[in-house]
Amino acid sequence: RTGARVERLPLARFTTLGVGGEAEVWFVETHAQLAEAMEVPYRILGGGSNLVVADEGVPERVVRLSGPFAERDLSPDPLLSTPEQLVTGWVGGGVPLPGLIRTLQKLGLSNLEGTVGIPAQVGGAVWMNAGTRYGEMFDGLHTLEIVTPQGARQVTPDDLGWGYRQSGIPRGHIVTRVRLKLRPSTPEAVLEKMSAADQARKGQPKMKTPGCAFKNPGGVSAGRLIDEAGLKGTRIGQAMIAPEHANFIVNLGGASAADVHGLLALIRERVGVPLELEYELWP
Ligand code: FAD
Ligand code: EPU
């Protein structure tokens, strides 16, 4: 009724792991289309860079932010900006994060350069406060628009209980757009801060993967714990614990979700401390 484009598609196409069966994907471009999509059980798909989707797909509608929800207005808001802090116009939740981070560097705008190399969309990165030890999404957020089946509301980071790899936003509440708060700097200075975070990625695998499998327990590298358990290079089917970094599971080509689940179970069995999953398992 609201004209959203709807297609049955394999989710493998939308995930960095390259795994996942079919679902009904709703490409929403307006708040009205989003409201219609949310009338029945739904899931929100971002860059698919933290997802392990079942080979059977998912029965729920899958919402994908498109059109204006994937556009960005980086011009300074005249009322909210000061010489020390630039507050942008709206940046859509469907905007790819890597391109945004590159543009901010060229503009000499600081605060988010620590998130370089995270292949997410803005909404997904905000929802889990993606980051590295050089910085995280909440370093650069001024206002968030969040949509639920009950409607849209605007919040500030202070309204949320955010922390390491968590925003405090309940699952299924959709981050449709945000305003960024940035510190005016120079392209050179931003690039220099970025290269440290870039350097830390050199030891990460280049193959298809959904990033780190587990959160770091109490600040200790989960990768290191899995490595010490002797699990690097372990394979189940076409999924493998990366030889480069043990907290990454890679798809050797044709892996199934079950292969990945098998490795996750093996890691939990072999590592002595409880590990909290960073991935999302669908369903
Ligand atoms: P998806 O994978 O699509 O979804 C993940 C979750 O977010 C789901 O629950 C989904 O429903 C929810 N979600 C997605 N969009 C929205 C939205 N608009 N509103 C509300 N909820 C939403 N992560 C780090 O933190 N640091 C890293 O250094 C890092 N490096 C990575 C390197 C590689 C090579 C890869 C593949 C991944 C890496 N990741 C890293 C993991 C991943 O990029 C992050 O978890 C990211 O936040 C996922 O965002 P996404 O848009 O891809 O979300
Ligand atoms: N280490 C090992 N063996 C391994 C992996 C790591 O001994 O197999 C050791 C390293 O030698 C190093 C220490 O553990 O001494 C830390 O490793 P690294 O610098 O790779 O950091 P990490 O804590 O393992 C975190 C994030 C990454 C992020 C990097 C870089 C988590 C769960 N992981 O990894 O984020 O890219 O720092 O900042 O917080 C993600 O969340 O998906 C992710 C990739």
pLDDT per residue over 129-164, tens digit each? 999 999 999 999 999 999 999 999 999 999 999 999
Tens digit of pLDDT for each residue in 221-254? 999 999 999 999 999 999 999 999 999 999 999 9
27: containing domain: 5-68
Q: Select from 202, 211, 220, 234 the least CA-distant residue to 273.
A: 220
> What residue owns the CA closest to ligand 1's atom 29?
118
Question: Does 76 share its domain with 60?
Answer: no
Q: Exposed/middle/buried for 207, CB within 10 Å: 0-12, 13-18, 19+?
A: middle
Whether residue 208 is contained in a domain is answered as: no
pLDDT at 2 over 90: yes
Whether residue 212 is contained in a domain is answered as: no
State residue 1's pLDDT score. Answer: 87
N- to C-terminal Cα distance for the chain?
27
Total domain count for the chain? 3
State residue 120's pLDDT score. Answer: 98
Q: Select from 221, 249, 224, 223 the least CA-distant residue to 236.
A: 249
Question: Does 235 share its domain with 121?
Answer: no
**What residues have CB less than 8 Å from 30, skipping those under 6 apart?**
2, 67, 68
Residue-level length of the chain: 283
What values do phi and psi take at 126, rounded to 5?
A: -70, -45
Q: Which ligand is nearest to the CA of 210?
A: 1
Instruction: Indicate left, alpha or beta for 172 from its phi (over 0: left) and psi (-120 to 50: alpha).
Output: left
Tens digit of pLDDT for each residue in 17-56? 999 999 999 999 999 999 999 999 999 999 999 999 999 9
> What residue owns the CA closest to ligand 2's atom 13?
221
State residue 112's pLDDT score. Answer: 98
Residue 224 is part of a domain; what is its CATH number? 3.90.78.10
Say how many Å lie between the CA of residue 63 and the centre of ligand 1.
Answer: 15
State residue 57's pLDDT score. Answer: 98
